[in-house]
Chains A and B, each alone.
Chain A
Amino acid sequence: MAISSINKSVGSFMNYTTKKLSKSLEKGLKQPASYAAKLMVISFISKDAVNCALYTGQSLNNKKIPEDKRKFVAFLDLFNGIINVGGQALSFVLFENLLVPKLESIYTGVLRYNKDGQKLKKVVSSKAALSEDNIYKHVEKALKDNADVITQKVKGVDVSEVAKDINAVTKSVMEKVGHSGKKGGDIVTGLGLLMSALTTNALIKRVASPLIATPLAGKLSDSMDAKAKAKKEEDSKGNDLSTQVAGTINNPLPNHPEDGSKLNKKA
């Protein structure tokens, strides 16, 4: 009973989250390919943001990391995080809007684009594998090649009459294999996911980010180490009595008047 109550409570909460996400989930239904790619990038970026904050803070305070490497490690985490989050988001937007539609059109023959805030499509090739024209040709041939099989397996059907209605047949076949059908849908979704993974996670996060972040982190940590070292030296010079010359009446300190009057004047 307790488990059932827990399931009911969690179920209600999940019901609530579903309603809150309903507009987004609706987009996922209408544009499954680009939505899947978007979720992949959100997954990467959300973890990178958390990693950045935690790793940087923890690395700075981690006694187990040798002291001479600690700042470098922490700054590397910080710069990596900044470049990962910003760079991946930017590259996704660019590739998703510019590159991916062009790559899709190689397979589908249809180019999707935005105009005046509307999402439109135009046919750019009749030779692409999943284009209407190509599917039509295949359907025409398949009806001829499979006439006997159809007559045998589907009762009351005259294949020649079905063939006269080839436009309707092609439309139904397109729903299965065309650019908006299962096969086309898989190709377009998979292409989007592969491009997202390569352009964001591989290119930005694993290549660009370390190449840029490593030297930046090195320079910043070196600069901070140098400043810290200079400050230490200055402090140690100020505290070391053996390096100071004691002022006396006969041997006044440099820059002080011989009568010592300035000594009595304070700013």
Chain B
Amino acid sequence: MSRIEPVNLNRFSQPKQNAVDSNIASKQSFGRGFSDLPDKSKKDIVNILVGDINPKLDKELGWGPLRKTYEYLAHTKGEMQNQLVNALFTTTLAPFFIAFNPFSDKSKEDKEYLALRQPISAVIALTGGAAMTKGVNVYLDKLYNEGFNKAIDLRMEPNNSYLKSIYKKSDAKSKGVKFDDWAKDFKAKRKETFTMLYSENPDNIQIKDKVISLKDTNKVIGRDIPNLDTPEALKEYLDKNNLHNRKLSDLLKEEFNFEFYEDGKAKPTNLNSRLSEVKAIDFLSEIGLVEKGKVDDSKLKQAVLNIRQDKYKGALAETLGISKEKAKKAFEIVGMDTSRNIEMSVGEDVGKASSMSMGQLFHQLGYKVKDGKIQEFINQPIPKALDKLKEIFNGKLEDFNNKADLKYFTENILKNKITKLGSYASNHKTWIGIITNIFTTGVTCTVLNWAYPRIVEALFPNLVAKHPAKAEKKGGNK
């Protein structure tokens, strides 16, 4: 039986037949390979190609209406969609299978009486459910986009459903500016504001009359941001969100669910489990030191091996009192076993896992949990931790971003944060919708119980039994 290998999605490490080694080509020629181009140029090229390729893919993806159904469902997912799907099948399928049920020996009138309940219940449930869901969605959008829910703060990139409400009241609509253009511009300004708020020295940021500016140049970086309109609100925001005020542990707490005591010490059980659960690649790409999808696990393992070997050579040089070059030669002579030992130690540490964990990475770099060194590392201010990691990996990891400065770091964090918060907002909305609709269901159920027999009696009297209802001492209409 052939062994199933986890797929190597980075097949581009093995160039296709006839492809030229892009690194050699770009160095020899005057032109630049795609990888060496600035981000904007890459984005523009990709957009042109995607514009050409998309219609062709649409044809290859099969029957158009089915493909469009998939896309429509993906774009409209959420509690409102769940309600509509429920109502659709309640109205169409359920009555049919109740009324024409071949396994039931009830009379035709009984079955029809019951079947009619389905469309009536669908209308009542959908009316109540849709109203509740819409109300919840609108209110949650306000909480997310105005900074009331600090765990899902969308002020840096407001979502379209919230922006539409602002657009309707704005001058732009009356001037004929299209929503998409207006929203793109609005979001770009907000992103610039929050990039500055994150990366700029907090002592250099001031606010007056709801306008946020830099003290040294008086440059305006933002205005009329909801709940960022007083010096107190600005200070509170900067204390928690400016990178100069934050430690790496704060980032780990927010982005990776690490838990800490009040004094800043990591909770031991949580620390061990998070270090083993968070992948090293995810951590390094989250902080912008590698680009997501560019560096794979095998490259990272090789880099760690190189770092360990270099460290050994350095230690050897120091112990023997010789230069690093001589130590390198000495290492080459005796290094077979030592290199293998280091390889084995990296291999054993990582084990059969397809990805190196964050804990394994730090362990290999000499930051262990037991001796408190990892606690010390993650308690550093972010700029210091960033510089240390750059120093460790510089030159050792292919495609490592050693030019990452605080602004780049911020842009990367914000980019990842926006993606993450967008997903969190959408799914959190659905959860709150599900929970609030449990209460709505109680109400619509009671309404149905009252309305159903009355509607059937009024519209289909032939289905109601002719026997007089006997008086009951308990229960009754609720």
Where the two chains meet, the residues of A that have a C-beta atom closer than 8 Å to any C-beta of B are 7-8, 10-12, 14-15, 17-19, 21-26, 28-29, 32, 35-36, 39-40, 42-44, 46-47, 50-51, 54-55, 58-69, 72-73, 76, 107, 110, 115, 118, 120-123, 129-130, 132, 134-136, 138-139, 142-143, 145-146, 149-150, 153-158, 160-162, 164-173, 175-177, 183, 185-187, 189-191, 193-194, 197, 201-202, 205-207, 210-212, 214-215, 218
When distances are taken between beta carbons in the complex, the residues of chain A under 8 Å from B430 are: 39, 43
Binds A, one of B199-207, B241-249, B359-367, B469-477: B469-477
Which of B104, B113, B293, B469 lies at the interface centre, i.e. has the most chain A CB atoms within 10 A of its CB? B104
Closest 3 CB pairs of A and B: A61-B475, A11-B148, A190-B70
* Interface pair B12/A167, CB less than 8 Å apart: yes
When distances are taken between beta carbons in the complex, the residues of chain A under 8 Å from B15 are: 167
* Interface pair B7/A7, CB less than 8 Å apart: no
Q: Is B303 an interface residue (CB 8 A)?
A: no
* Interface pair B22/A21, CB less than 8 Å apart: no
| CA of A162 to CA of B71, assembled, Å | 32
Q: How many residues on B have C-beta within 8 angstroms of the other chain's C-beta atoms? A: 118
* Interface pair B41/A10, CB less than 8 Å apart: no
26 contacts between A and B (CB under 8 A): A10-B143, A14-B149, A17-B428, A22-B257, A28-B427, A29-B424, A47-B437, A67-B467, A72-B114, A120-B354, A121-B6, A122-B5, A123-B7, A132-B11, A142-B52, A153-B44, A161-B31, A164-B22, A166-B34, A176-B46, A177-B57, A193-B74, A206-B97, A211-B101, A214-B98, A214-B106
* Interface pair B49/A26, CB less than 8 Å apart: no
New A-B contacts (18) at CB < 8 Å, excluding given A158-B30, A183-B57? A11-B148, A15-B151, A18-B149, A28-B427, A43-B430, A43-B437, A46-B437, A59-B449, A66-B464, A66-B467, A69-B114, A121-B6, A138-B53, A150-B45, A168-B35, A172-B42, A202-B89, A214-B104
* Interface pair B434/A39, CB less than 8 Å apart: yes
When distances are taken between beta carbons in the complex, the residues of chain B under 8 Å from A129 are: 57, 60-62
- Contact mask B62-93 → A, CB, 8 Å, 1/0? 10000101111111010101110110011001
Where the two chains meet, the residues of B that have a C-beta atom closer than 8 Å to any C-beta of A are 4-7, 9, 11-12, 15-16, 19-20, 22, 25-26, 29-35, 37, 41-42, 44-46, 48-50, 52-54, 56-57, 60-62, 67, 69-75, 77, 79, 81-83, 85-86, 89-90, 93-94, 97-98, 101, 103-106, 110-111, 113-114, 117, 125, 139-140, 142-143, 146, 148-152, 257, 293, 354, 419-420, 423-424, 427-428, 430-434, 437-438, 441-442, 445-446, 448-450, 452-454, 457, 464-465, 467, 469-470, 472, 474-478
* Interface pair B41/A40, CB less than 8 Å apart: no
When distances are taken between beta carbons in the complex, the residues of chain B under 8 Å from A138 are: 53, 56-57
| CA of A117 to CA of B229, assembled, Å | 49
| CA of A194 to CA of B110, assembled, Å | 33
* Interface pair A210/B478, CB less than 8 Å apart: no
Closest to A121 in B: B7
* Interface pair B143/A142, CB less than 8 Å apart: no
* Interface pair B105/A215, CB less than 8 Å apart: yes
* Interface pair B149/A15, CB less than 8 Å apart: yes
Closest to A76 in B: B114
| CA of A197 to CA of B143, assembled, Å | 30
When distances are taken between beta carbons in the complex, the residues of chain A under 8 Å from B427 are: 24-25, 28, 35, 39
* Interface pair A18/B53, CB less than 8 Å apart: no
* Interface pair B424/A18, CB less than 8 Å apart: yes
| CA of A190 to CA of B464, assembled, Å | 43
When distances are taken between beta carbons in the complex, the residues of chain A under 8 Å from B143 are: 7, 10-11, 14
